[in-house]
Structures are given as C-alpha cells and as structure tokens.
Amino acid sequence: MSKKDYYEILNVSKDASSDEIKAAYRKLVKKWHPDLHTKDKKIAEEKFKEIREAYEVLSDPQKRAQYDRFGYVGQQVGSQGGWSTTQQGNPFDQGPFGGFEDLFETFFGQSPRSSSRTSAKSRAVKGEDIYVTVRIETKDVLHGVEKEIEYTRYEVCEACHGTGAKNGTAFKTCPKCNGTGVIRQQQRTFFGVMTTQSTCDMCGGSGKIISEKCPVCGGRGLVTKKKKIKLRIPPGVEDGGRMRVPNGGHAGKNGGPYGDLFVVIRVKEIKGLKRDGQNVYSEVTIDFVQAALGTTVEIDGLEGPEVKVIPAGTQPGTIFKLKGKGFPSIRNRSRGDHIVKVNVEIPRSLTKEQEEILRKYAETTHSTVNTKHRGFFRR
Ligand SMILES: [Zn+2]
Ligand SMILES: [Zn+2]
C-alpha cells in the first residue's frame, strides 16, 4: 500500500483541476522517460513509475476522493502495468522517444492501434459506460423528482482488490518470460540475426502470474454487482435528455477508472399537449356562436384544468398565451408559456329552428344565402 504524496509527486496543489493534473503529468512523463536517462536509468524508472501511479489515482475522481480521505487507494495501482523499459537491443526501436505514443494512449484515451510492445491485456483501460432509461411523468418535469435506479455493473473485486489473486498476494514469477514481461526472439534474416521482442502473452507483460485465483471473482478481478442509486432529476428536463453519473459505469481493466453511467430520461406525454423547449402547445375548439358571443373554456394544462375567458368576436386560429404555464427552464427555473390555438367549428347540420334563426340573422346583415339548393355547398 503506498503512502506517498501523489500531489507532491505531480507537483500540483491539493485542489488542482483534472486539466492541471493532466498537464503536470504530461510534463513529468516527458522529463522522466527512462529512455532519456541512459546513465541513471534505474532512478528514472522508479521516478517514472511513481509519476504514473500518482496520475492513475489523481486522474480518477473516485480514487482521488478515496486517496484524499484515507491517504491511500485500496487497489494497488500500477502493479500490473504494462510499461516495458527493456527495449534495448531491438533493431526496430524507434529511438529515445519510442513508446511515448503507447503511453499516452493508455492514459488519454484508447486507440484502435494495438502495438505488440504493449499488450492490451496489461493496459489500464477505462471501464465501459452504462446506459439506463428512466421514465418520468410530465408533472415530474415541473418540480423535479428523485428516482431510484437499479442496474447491474462490474465492480472491482474487494477480496483481491482487482488483482484476481487469492488474498491479493499470491503471485509468482511468470515461467514463460521469467519475470521480464517480454519474449525475445532471434531471427535469421537477410541482414543478419535480428532480435525482436514482444510482450509476454502469458502474463500480459507484468512478469507475474496468479498462482492461486481469487475464489470470489475466479481470477477475473471483477465481480457483478447490483447497484442502486438515487438520482435527483432536475425540473425542466426534456424527453431524451441524458444525465451523467461519473464513475457509475463498469469497472476499468488493470486499474483503469470506472466508466460512467448515463441515465436517459423519457418523459411520458400528456395527450393533446406538445412541448417545444419551455413552451407547451395545445388547441381548443369552440363553435361559431361561442366565437361570436364569447365564452369560457377549460383548457387541459400541465397542472390540470385552466379556465380561460374567450372574448366575443374571437377569430378562428386566434392564439392566446397562458403566461408562465409552460415548462421550467433547466437552467434557471423560469417557466415558459402554454400557447393555445382556438379552432372554430361550423355546425355540419342545423335543426329547423336553428336554421330559421340564422336566416333571420342573415337578413340583419343583408347576406345572400341559398334559398333553393339548400345544402348544395355543404362540405
Ligand atoms: Zn477477486
Ligand atoms: Zn510472462
């Protein structure tokens, strides 16, 4: 268990941001790359290992929090690291900077390029992200809601701290590479004898193999765990919106950080209400007499029925706003409007009495109406 001051190693303050930590790490790694220190290689290697270990912890919010609280991280990081410093003698070595690329890929994102020098098995790889869907009601969008989310993920096995070895200690030297982590092969070629080397496939370059598998995880270092979290969904969230829970995903490989959990929010629609940003749209239908004389209507709003007075002489297609009756903004909680379009319905048939009244009405406005072919123009 390491009790080193990782902040001191990376020369950053205790409240350094992740970008500051990354920058400090890049700088130090360049300075202490073992291939640049041919004379005091051993010292550089030690230093290099330390820097890497510090970065692995401080770059992972979960591990960093653990380190801040307890002064160490339970899971020994870097112990299975695949960094190989034994590259001399390789005619295809890319010079003093060979290996840089791979190193950065390991920590700053994955690359599809898999080099023979660093086996995928030994890299610290971030765990996979998990997506879960949560369904909420429209009213939950107004006030926010707390939801319990249950899902299954891979976690680092506590029994072996992710090493896969029983009691976390039972390692033995890899018999295939004798603990060097690399396999050397001599080849007779056109140019003479050439030595090539590759990462040992048996130990993944760590030089150690598990002699007794952890009984809890069967040597995988990971266990399946049911996870239950409470998530506060803020007001204003939109259908299809995503919330990220850092480190809520699957455990990483070889001490890599946890992936993230993404919670996809689906909002159940209310029939007849259409959302567009913070505004909500609906329609109300009245008949032509109501439009002419004015009326009172009940509108299905987000928070139940809203009563609205329709003034006399309202035209078809008139739009009115119920101010502040829309959805809240996810940023500042200010609410949008409920926008209502008025449809005016013309009766498709009239009773004798209604027709007479309308004819009388027509006389008052001097309108010309059909007398003989009543109904001819009806749709
Ligand atoms: Zn285990
Ligand atoms: Zn080996």
DSSP string, 331-375: TT--B--EEEEEEEEPPS---HHHHHHHHHHHHHTT----SSSTT
Does residue 285 sit in the same domain as residue 306? yes
Does residue 223 sit in the same domain as residue 256? yes
Tokens at 64, concatenated: 């960093």
Q: Which ligand is nearest to the CA of 155?
A: 1
| For residues 36-59, average pLDDT | 84
Does residue 247 sit in the same domain as residue 158? yes
pLDDT band at 306 (very low <50, low <70, confident <90, very high): very high
Beta strand pairing status for 279-287 and 295-301?
unpaired
Does residue 299 sit in the same domain as residue 339? yes
Comparing 28-32, 51-55, 341-345, the range with the smallest average pLDDT is 28-32
Residue 347 has pLDDT above 50, yes or no: yes
Q: Is residue 242 part of a domain?
A: yes
- pLDDT the model gives residue 73: 65
Q: Is residue 369 part of a domain?
A: no
Does residue 139 sit in the same domain as residue 225? yes
Q: Which ligand is nearest to the CA of 181?
A: 2
34 alpha carbon to ligand 2 midpoint, in Å? Answer: 21
- pLDDT the model gives residue 194: 79
- pLDDT the model gives residue 122: 60
6 alpha carbon to ligand 1 midpoint, in Å? Answer: 26
Helix (H, G, I), strand (E, B) or coil at 99: coil
109 alpha carbon to ligand 2 midpoint, in Å? Answer: 26
Residue 91 has pLDDT above 50, yes or no: no
- pLDDT the model gives residue 8: 86
CATH of the domain at 311: 2.60.260.20
Residue 249 has pLDDT above 90, yes or no: yes
213 alpha carbon to ligand 1 midpoint, in Å? Answer: 8
Residue 275 has pLDDT above 50, yes or no: yes
Task: State CA 253 to chain mean position distance.
Answer: 19
- CA gap 370, 360 in Å, rounded: 13
Does residue 232 sit in the same domain as residue 321? no
- CA gap 374, 284 in Å, rounded: 30
pLDDT digits (tens, 9 = 90+) for 174-228: 998 998 888 888 877 777 777 888 888 888 888 888 888 889 998 888 999 999 9
- CA gap 198, 185 in Å, rounded: 8
Give the rounded percent of residues in the chain with a pLDDT score beyond 90: 42
Does residue 341 sit in the same domain as residue 262? no
Locate all alpha helices (DSSP H) within the chain, ordered by sequence. 6-10, 18-32, 41-58, 61-70, 100-108, 138-143, 288-293, 352-364
pLDDT digits (tens, 9 = 90+) for 102-152: 333 333 333 333 333 444 446 688 999 999 999 999 999 999 999 999 999
375 alpha carbon to ligand 1 midpoint, in Å? Answer: 85
User: Domain boundary at 268, 303, 335, which?
Assistant: 268
Domain count along the chain? 2
Q: Is residue 82 part of a domain?
A: no
Q: Which ligand is nearest to the CA of 183?
A: 2
Residue 153 has pLDDT above 80, yes or no: yes
- CA gap 19, 30 in Å, rounded: 17
Residue 335 burial by Cβ neighbours in a 10 Å radius (0-12, 13-18, 19+): buried
Does residue 320 sit in the same domain as residue 259? no
Q: Is residue 87 part of a domain?
A: no
202 alpha carbon to ligand 1 midpoint, in Å? Answer: 19
pLDDT band at 72 (very low <50, low <70, confident <90, very high): low
Does residue 263 sit in the same domain as residue 282? no
- List CB-based neighbours of ion ligand 1 within 5 Å: 157, 159-160, 214, 216-217
Other Cβ atoms less than 10 A from the Cβ of 1: the count is 10
Give helix 61-70 / helix 41-58 axis angle, nearest 10°.
100
Q: Which ligand is nearest to the CA of 161?
A: 1
Torsion of CA 101, 75, 150, 141, to 10 degrees: -60
Q: Is residue 227 part of a domain?
A: yes
Does residue 264 sit in the same domain as residue 279? no
Give helix 41-58 / helix 18-32 axis angle, nearest 10°.
170
Tokens at 56, concatenated: 């692995």
148 alpha carbon to ligand 1 midpoint, in Å? Answer: 28
Residue 26 backbone phi and psi in degrees, to 5: -55, -45
Q: Is residue 54 part of a domain?
A: no
Other Cβ atoms less than 10 A from the Cβ of 35: the count is 19
71 alpha carbon to ligand 1 midpoint, in Å? Answer: 23
pLDDT band at 94 (very low <50, low <70, confident <90, very high): very low
Does residue 155 sit in the same domain as residue 232? yes
- For 255, the domain range is 125-162+214-268
pLDDT digits (tens, 9 = 90+) for 16-31: 888 888 888 888 888 8
Give the rounded percent of residues in the chain with a pLDDT score beyond 70: 82
Q: Is residue 282 part of a domain?
A: yes
Mean pLDDT in the chain?
81
| For residues 287-306, average pLDDT | 94
- CA gap 319, 192 in Å, rounded: 88
Does residue 285 sit in the same domain as residue 339? yes
Tokens at 108, concatenated: 């700053």
| pTM over cut 0.85 | no
Residue 77 has pLDDT above 60, yes or no: no
| For residues 293-302, average pLDDT | 95
222 alpha carbon to ligand 2 midpoint, in Å? Answer: 22
pLDDT digits (tens, 9 = 90+) for 315-343: 999 999 999 999 999 888 799 999 999 99
236 alpha carbon to ligand 2 midpoint, in Å? Answer: 55
